């Protein structure tokens, strides 16, 4: 598939508007409280919490949508008011996601996220404005982002630990959150290791994607919503499998957009992953073709220009790598839909997950 055939925009599905508004309200109150609390420890710490609040704003809210959709389906609720415990759990997953993004930006030495300075960038700028040299400013910015991420991971655990639900459900949810952090760290560590060791095998990349993205972004939110509603172990396990397929499809599409996407839509340049030398399934497949040797020396160059980037893209397409990844995205989406249909999910949830699968496969941002 060529760059020109990337599909039109589509919104990720699931989640009632009232539910999402409740999550936004919960997060606003949480950050207002923390910013106010931090103010008693000086203006810089207050700025840190303000930056964390800004980092948590915006985004697709995938995790809250999935969690609340699963909870409504298994709880059998259809009224306008969402369950308070489900809203708090949904907010916890969004805090976890924000924390992982902060830490990921530190690892990647990025100072911009969603087209604006991230926590690292904001505090590095503050340090530079105060007269710090470039190295000291970056150190301060990255230390600030690490601390902000740590605070949000702790807050996510605290929110789940404080849920007013039966003890067995709360314990299961805490185990689920703990596993999310455990797997995400494993995936992130593998991702960094790949940069040292060269192009990994396709199976290694898929395992990294499942750990780093699919587990906490798709599988766990679906499972958490079902657990909160009292669903049984079989249903929770199936939702985990469905989420795994959805998460892999979502991340593989993200990798395609990172090389072939339109910056006006994605909010990030289509040359950044190539300059970084990001080891994706696209690269793993392309690197097995003889034509890769022509562009291999340019892949990962910090000074990569658009002409050389275009040459790399051409090799990815000509080698069949893009087509292979597109086929896998379609297969994972299809597997998620088929499993959702065959799993005896509550009325409406299978349809919502099918819509989410289509969005994961077709999105252009």
pTM: 0.92
Report the pLDDT value the prediction gives residue 5, as an integer from 0 to 100. 34
pLDDT at residue 43 in the model: 97
Six-digit token pair at 112? 């911009």
* Structural domains of the chain, ranges and CATH numbers in brackets: 3-362 (1.10.600.10)
> HEC string of the chain?
CCHHHCCCCCCCCCCCHHHHHHHHHHHHHHHHHHHHHHHCCCHHHHHHHHHHHHHHCCCCCHHHHHHHHHHHHHHCCCCCCCCHHHHHHHHHHHHHHHHHHHHHHHHHCCCEECCEECHHHHHHHHHHHCCCCHHHHHHHHHHHHHHHHHHHHHHHHHHHHCCCCCHHHHHHHHHHHHHHHHHHHHHHHHHHHHHHHCCCCHHHHHHHHHHHHHHHHHHHHHHHHHHHCCCCHHHHHHHHHHHHHHHHHHHHHHHHHHHHCCHHHHCCCCCHHHHHCCCCHHHHHHCCCCCHHHHCCCCCCCCCCHHHHHHHHHHHHHCCHHHHHHHHHHHHHHHHHHHHHHCCCCCCHHHHHHHHHHHHHHCCC
pLDDT score at 270: 82
**Tens digits of residue pLDDT in 227-264:** 999 999 999 999 999 999 999 999 999 999 999 988 77
Q: What's the distance, CA 108 to chain centroid?
A: 15
**pLDDT < 50 positions in the chain:** 1-11
Query: What pLDDT shows up at residue 353?
Result: 96
């Amino acid at each position: 598939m060529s760059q020109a055939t990337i599909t039109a925009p589509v919104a990720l599905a699931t989640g009632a508007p009232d539910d999402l508004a409740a999550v936004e309200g919960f997060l606003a109150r949480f950050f207002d409280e923390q910013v106010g609390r931090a103010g008693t420890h000086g203006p810089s710490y207050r700025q840190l919490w303000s930056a964390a609040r800004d980092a948590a704003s915006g985004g697709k809210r995938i995790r809250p949508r999935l969690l609340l959709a699963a909870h409504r389906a298994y709880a059998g609720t259809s009224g306008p008011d969402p369950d308070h415990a489900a809203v708090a759990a949904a907010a916890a997953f969004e805090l976890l996601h924000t924390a992982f993004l902060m830490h990921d930006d530190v690892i990647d030495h990025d100072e911009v996220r969603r087209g604006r300075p991230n926590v690292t960038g904001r505090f590095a700028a503050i340090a530079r404005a105060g007269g710090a040299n470039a190295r000291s400013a970056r150190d301060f910015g990255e230390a600030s982002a690490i601390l902000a991420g740590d605070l949000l991971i702790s807050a996510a655990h605290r929110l789940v630990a404080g849920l007013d639900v039966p003890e067995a459900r709360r314990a299961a949810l805490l185990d689920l959150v703990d596993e999310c952090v455990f797997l995400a760290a494993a995936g992130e560590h593998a991702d960094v290791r790949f940069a040292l060791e060269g192009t990994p095998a396709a199976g290694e990349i898929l395992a990294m994607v499942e750990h780093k993205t699919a587990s906490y972004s798709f599988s766990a939110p679906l499972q958490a919503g079902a657990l909160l509603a009292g669903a049984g172990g079989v249903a929770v396990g199936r939702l985990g499998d469905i989420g795994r397929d959805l998460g892999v499809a979502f991340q593989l599409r993200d990798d395609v957009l990172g090389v072939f996407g339109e910056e006006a839509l994605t909010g990030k340049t289509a040359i950044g992953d190539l300059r970084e030398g990001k080891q994706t399934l696209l690269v793993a497949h392309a690197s097995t073709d003889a034509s890769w040797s022509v562009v291999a020396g340019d892949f990962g160059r910090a000074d990569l220009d658009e002409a050389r980037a275009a040459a790399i893209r051409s090799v990815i397409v000509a080698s069949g790598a893009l087509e292979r990844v597109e086929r896998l995205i379609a297969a994972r989406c299809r597997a998620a839909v088929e499993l959702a249909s065959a799993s005896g999910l509550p009325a409406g949830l299978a349809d919502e997950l099918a819509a989410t699968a289509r969005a994961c496969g077709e999105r252009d941002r």
